[in-house]
Structure 1
Amino acid sequence: MSGGLTGLFLCGDVMLGRGVDQILPHPLDPVLPERYVRDARDYVTLAEAVSGPVPRQAAPDYPWGEALALLDAAGPAARVVNLETAVTRNDAPTPGKAVHYRMDPANLPALTAVRPDVVVLANNHVLDYGRRGLDDTLDALAAAGLRTAGAGRDAEEARRPAEVPLPDGRRLVVHALGLASSGVPRDWAATARRGGVHQATGPDDPAATRLLARLRASRRPGDLVVVSVHWGSNWGYAPARAEVSFGHALVDAGADIVHGHSSHHPRPLETYRGRLVLHGCGDLVNDYEGITGQQRYRDDLRLLHLVSVHDTDGSLARVRLVPLRSRRLRLERAPEQDVRWLHDVLGRISRPYGMRIDPAPAGEPGGPALTATPV
């Protein structure tokens, strides 16, 4: 072991369907099976009403905006994203859902633009267009050379972690699980004969218990272990008590980082036994501009989570939080006043969980940022 640090990029939900798909080079039929919005282009119109004109036939990297250069400057050893979009042309939506996300497979360069090392699929949108849509998604990601975790054509594949080589012969191991509290339907769970997601009804479900056992049994010396969990509601700062306990159980079983997502805005960062628990990374890319009702959470503000851990034992060194905002369906650096707002909110909600939020030292690349460190 070198005794140095390993950096990872982790983010919350990446939604490249609906309005985002419509501005890319190969938009799908815009008809939506939603109650209130029947045309995906209406989400683009909502964004334009608050932010200005949005280009059509935009380059695949357009939605990421300034985030790509910031990530390149940070140089993380690996990048892990949660993709909440089916990559399929199948037009038969899963019945009974209020919201459906899909993107044309020809628009997949909008995902590969961020160069993800692991694409997490254990969430409540990957089967929006059924198991045929899931199969198409798995095929498209495999054809692009992308590793996946959290979904598969059977339970064994859905449970299988993704592995990424790290320097010095070490490996990053990413497990993924979707909890029912985030809206993952019970019948989406993969079985021995049916594809689906690695799903648990709750922290006490046998699937969650088996994950804890696998973590204890499978860890090798030098591994950096991430468990990516889709959990909790869309709004609100307080994580459920049961999910806080589950995050601790994952660390006790061998996780170095618990990568939580589902909420549309950031939730507390926690340090537990020297390990990082992200209770909610917030959305990163979506088509929510102009949708009203939850403005107090400032879901137009997004974060790049750049996590540094010690090579010797996987313990947390710090998290650099790079604030961005969505404008014209594109990520740009957040203004200084928005960085201060995030500093105040994240500091208030994270301190009870043992994490301190400070302005990042001046002179670091990437402009105004925040640093999270254990108290």
Structure 2
Amino acid sequence: MGHARGASGAVTLFVCGDVMTGRGIDQALPHPCSPELYESYVHDARDYVSLAEAANGAIPRPVEFPYIWGAALEELTRFAPEVRLVNLETAITRHDAPWPTKGINYRMHPDNAPCLKAAGINCCALANNHVLDWGREGLDDTCRVLDRLGIARCGAGQDESEAMRPACLEPVPGNRVLVWSIGSTDSGIPADWAAGPKRPGVWLARKASARGAEVLAERIGAEKRPGDLAVVSIHWGGNWGYRIPNGHRAFARRLVEAGADLIHGHSSHHPRGMELYRGRPILYGCGDFINDYEGIGGHEEFRPELTLMYFLRFAPGTDAPPEMWMTPLRMARFSLHRADADDTRWLLDLLNRESHRDMPRFSLDAEGRLFVRLPH
């Protein structure tokens, strides 16, 4: 399967799991923050660099901005997706007062933020459990840096209205891509991070509740126009395991019924199964994409070093399901590498085992990518 560029008017989206460019990643980049941490066991962010090097070899510090994306850049160049959406799971700030009692606090120096532009990222979902790690001042810095870089954002802001507003991209004249970002309390987002009428924060739903789904469904129905694509990026659930809670399934399906074309789920540290509902993909957990977790033991059975690039090509204004394929990658030395044949087969078997029974089976193409033919 060649995955050649689509016909005129088609829109290709790239999405992935959590992108955490703080802490050890930030220390490896050219302009690191002060390394102090406030964790129970690790008090210096540089220790995470040392753990990664002990596990997989030396990291040539400082690394250039494109380095962390590694082989992903070749795929982005080849398929040229017009929309490049990530869940940015870190604050971009020099602010030095962490959120009290949070325990784990991620931040990236603002001068390292061009690492996002190195991959052409043009939209960041912010409704997650780390964007306020350095307080509301850190959130304000994050929003200002993304605005300065020309990267659209959604899911957090200076008040509830801003947090609930979709990012709007127009990759094809007349065809918008609207992206909403919402977080669920079961992902570990503190309840007092919720944005209010006069309070900065994130768009927060209590355990992916039915009420939260209805509020978002109403917004999709009110704002989506013919020819638009509607994407919902959701931070939900725990870090480990493959079980999909019934509430998550109901939440996602309600949004598809309201007009969502893609549900982009994240929070799990490894890829989870997916579902096809009314011809629209629901990605329940895309797995981590970039982080500094190398060398940290535990949960090896989930292979958290393996990840996927998800590509979806839509024909806006039609009911046709998207073309969909995934590129398997492996994180090592804070950079992404193409997965070998054994790792690729492991991911293929995982998706076929854990995806919903109505999801067509995944196959491998001649170049080691995973693809699925969605029925019309």
Please say whether Structure 1 and Structure 2 have the same fold, judged by a TM-score greater than 0.5. Answer: yes
Q: 1:191 aligns with which of 177, 196, 208?
A: 196
In the alignment, what sits opposite 2:368?
368
- Residue by residue over 1:4-56, the C-alpha shift from the partner in whole angstroms, topping out at 9 and shown as x without a partner, is 64210011100000100000001111111111111111111111111100111
User: Residues 170 and 187 of structure 1: is their aligned pair in 2 closer, same or farther, counting only changes over 3 Å?
Assistant: same
Aligned residue identity for 1:368: G
Deviation at 1:77, TM superposition (A): 1.9
Within 5 Å, give how 1:215-364 maps onto structure 2.
Answer: 215-313=220-318, 315-360=320-365, 362=366
**2:228 is the alignment partner of 1:209:** no
Helix, strand or coil at the partner of 1:276: strand
Aligned residue identity for 1:274: G
Helix, strand or coil at the partner of 2:161: helix
Helix, strand or coil at the partner of 2:304: coil
Within 5 Å, give how 1:121-160 maps onto structure 2.
Answer: 121-160=126-165
The structure 1 segments of at least 4 consecutive aligned residues displaced by more than 6 Å after TM superposition are none
Deviation at 1:205, TM superposition (A): 6.0
Deviation at 1:308, TM superposition (A): 1.9
Aligned residue identity for 1:282: G
Task: Provide TM-score, normalisation by structure 2.
Answer: 0.95
Contact 1:212 1:253 (C-alpha < 8 Å) held by counterparts:
yes
Q: 1:58 aligns with which of 58, 63, 73?
A: 63
Contact 1:3 1:311 (C-alpha < 8 Å) held by counterparts:
no
Task: Provide TM-score, normalisation by structure 1.
Answer: 0.95
- How many Å separate the matches in 2 of 1:54 and 1:192? 45
In the alignment, what sits opposite 1:98?
103
**2:24 is the alignment partner of 1:19:** yes
- How many Å separate the matches in 1 of 2:32 and 2:157? 26
Deviation at 1:315, TM superposition (A): 4.1
User: Residues 160 and 304 of structure 1: is their aligned pair in 2 closer, same or farther, counting only changes over 3 Å?
Assistant: same
Deviation at 1:265, TM superposition (A): 0.4
- How many Å separate the matches in 2 of 1:19 and 1:314? 44
- How many Å separate the matches in 2 of 1:316 and 1:97? 41
Aligned residue identity for 1:96: T
User: Residues 351 and 318 of structure 1: is their aligned pair in 2 closer, same or farther, counting only changes over 3 Å?
Assistant: farther
In the alignment, what sits opposite 1:30?
35
**2:9 is the alignment partner of 1:8:** no
User: Residues 62 and 322 of structure 1: is their aligned pair in 2 closer, same or farther, counting only changes over 3 Å?
Assistant: same
Deviation at 1:348, TM superposition (A): 0.8
Deviation at 1:274, TM superposition (A): 0.4
- How many Å separate the matches in 2 of 1:237 and 1:41? 32
Superposition CA RMSD, Å: 1.5
- Sequence identity of aligned pairs in percent? 48
- How many Å separate the matches in 1 of 2:8 and 2:215? 32
**2:98 is the alignment partner of 1:114:** no
Aligned residue identity for 2:87: N
- How many Å separate the matches in 1 of 2:25 and 2:341? 27
- How many Å separate the matches in 2 of 1:33 and 1:353? 45
- How many Å separate the matches in 1 of 2:372 and 2:50? 36
- How many Å separate the matches in 1 of 2:358 and 2:121? 29
- Residue by residue over 1:226-247, the C-alpha shift from the partner in whole angstroms, topping out at 9 and shown as x without a partner, is 0111111100011111101110
- Residue by residue over 1:314-363, the C-alpha shift from the partner in whole angstroms, topping out at 9 and shown as x without a partner, is 54233211001011110011111110111111111115242321112x2x
Contact 1:256 1:314 (C-alpha < 8 Å) held by counterparts:
no
In the alignment, what sits opposite 1:48?
53
Helix, strand or coil at the partner of 2:183: strand
Deviation at 1:66, TM superposition (A): 1.3
Once the two structures are overlaid, the 10-residue window that deviates more, 185-194 or 306-315, is 306-315
- Residue by residue over 1:252-283, the C-alpha shift from the partner in whole angstroms, topping out at 9 and shown as x without a partner, is 11101011111010011210000010000111
Helix, strand or coil at the partner of 1:171: strand
User: Residues 115 and 3 of structure 1: is their aligned pair in 2 closer, same or farther, counting only changes over 3 Å?
Assistant: closer
Structure 2, unpaired ranges of 5+: 1-6
Contact 1:234 1:263 (C-alpha < 8 Å) held by counterparts:
yes
Contact 2:33 2:109 (C-alpha < 8 Å) held by counterparts:
yes
- Residue by residue over 1:194-241, the C-alpha shift from the partner in whole angstroms, topping out at 9 and shown as x without a partner, is 100011113336444211111122210011100111111100011111
Once the two structures are overlaid, the 10-residue window that deviates more, 133-142 or 166-175, is 166-175
- How many Å separate the matches in 1 of 2:346 and 2:50? 28
Structure 1, unpaired ranges of 5+: none
Q: How many pairs were matched up?
A: 369
Helix, strand or coil at the partner of 1:69: helix
Contact 2:175 2:316 (C-alpha < 8 Å) held by counterparts:
no
User: Residues 351 and 209 of structure 1: is their aligned pair in 2 closer, same or farther, counting only changes over 3 Å?
Assistant: closer
